[in-house]
Amino acid sequence: MSTTLDAQKKLRIKKAIIISALTLVTVLMFFVCLFIGTTEMTVKDCFDALAGKSTYINNTIILKIRLPRVIAAVVAGAGLAVAGLIMQTTLGNVMASPSTLGVSNAAVFGANVSIIGFAGGFFSSGRDLAGSINTFNPFAVSLIAFLFASASVLLVLALCRLKNFSPNTIVLAGIAIGAIWTAGTTLLQVFATDVGLSAAVIWSFGDLGRVTFTQDYIMLGVVGAALIVFFCLSWRFNAMLGGDNIAKTVGVNATALRVVGLLISSLVTAMCVSFLGIIGFVGIICPHVIKRLLGHNHVVSIPMTALMGSLLLLVADTFARSISSGIALPVGAVTSLLGAPFFLFMLFARRDVKNV
């Protein structure tokens, strides 16, 4: 009995150290991402600019250029990571991610409809790429992208209603619907002008540089509300880990919870993608890392997965802005470059690979 208690105490101490370390590293990375750039500002200059007490140029760089994108990295990283965690739990599929239901594909199709159809293609024949990019309203593009992504979610869930929301059915339906959206995007781009095509492709890059404070606030409201709902439902998600039958024995309506979890996760993904473009692997990598370090209890894994998602996107954005002098790479490409090898390492490092 004493040995068991000692083991549990050591486990609690280990988890407390991991949680504290992850929190500290994320806070430090926030400032590293905010202060690192191509300008030759000292740390003191950066802190002065953050307080609005430095030169006009320094204040503008920190407060109007870097701060919005750093906040976007924190919020979107948290949202995408937790969306992946909830999808993996509700679908019982460790490979599930925010792209499982075709949400990202639908958002890209909606953005292409807006950009190609109204700013650089069917209804406009301009040849100035910069002018075309500045022509379309980012909020209009994001709104249409969000509407198509939301419609995709509802369509998948409606189709799966015929199969009683079987997890495998949802995954397969999501893949099929996502393929249709991708085909539609390709057809739109075939008939676009070179300017419309270029603008649409640039939009699809996972880029934090175009985000504004207003968009940050909107994402923060949506992601924050979703995290609160998920945390309040955490014990129900824990019950689903044992399967639908186990969940029913403790009074959890597995079907209803699956619908709610997938719908909210998909809407969070749709919101982030509609503002930032496609950012991959955050929703796959972060839940796996947290589950390996801290276990499957959603009371802990939900907030820690959110923190891990923020950290990953902060690291990716810092890397994207530092790797090439004067040029910021798309953060979506960086997350894929960092995420894919890391995920493969995790996959093959496990002894129980067949159960992953």
> 260-308, pLDDT tens digit by residue?
998 899 889 888 888 888 888 898 889 989 998 998 999 999 999 999 9
- State residue 2's pLDDT score: 61
| Burial (CB count <10 Å: 0-12, 13-18, 19+), residue 79 | buried
Take residue 179 and report the two structure tokens written for it.
């393929």
Domain ranges of the chain: 2-355
| Residue listed under structure tokens 């802190």 | 47
Task: Give 4-28 pLDDT, tens digit per residue.
Answer: 777 788 888 888 999 999 999 999 9
Specify which residues 327 forms β-bridges with. 324
Give me the phi and psi of 261, to 5 degrees please: -60, -45
Q: What is the pLDDT of residue 301?
A: 95
Greatest mean pLDDT among 122-126, 129-133, 257-261: 257-261
* 324 exposure class (CB count in 10 Å sphere: 0-12, 13-18, 19+): exposed
What is the rounded average pLDDT for all residues in the chain?
84
pLDDT at 125: 43
Contact 79, 219 (CB under 8 A): yes
Residue reference for tokens 């593009």: 141
Q: Supply the pLDDT for residue 353.
A: 43
Q: How far apart are the first and last CA of the chain?
A: 32
- The class that CATH gives domain 2-355 is mainly alpha
pLDDT band at residue 1 using 50, 70 and 90 as cut-offs:
low
Over residues 140-167, the mean pLDDT reads: 81
CA–CA distance from 152 to each of 96, 149, 179, 343 (Å)? 17, 5, 11, 27
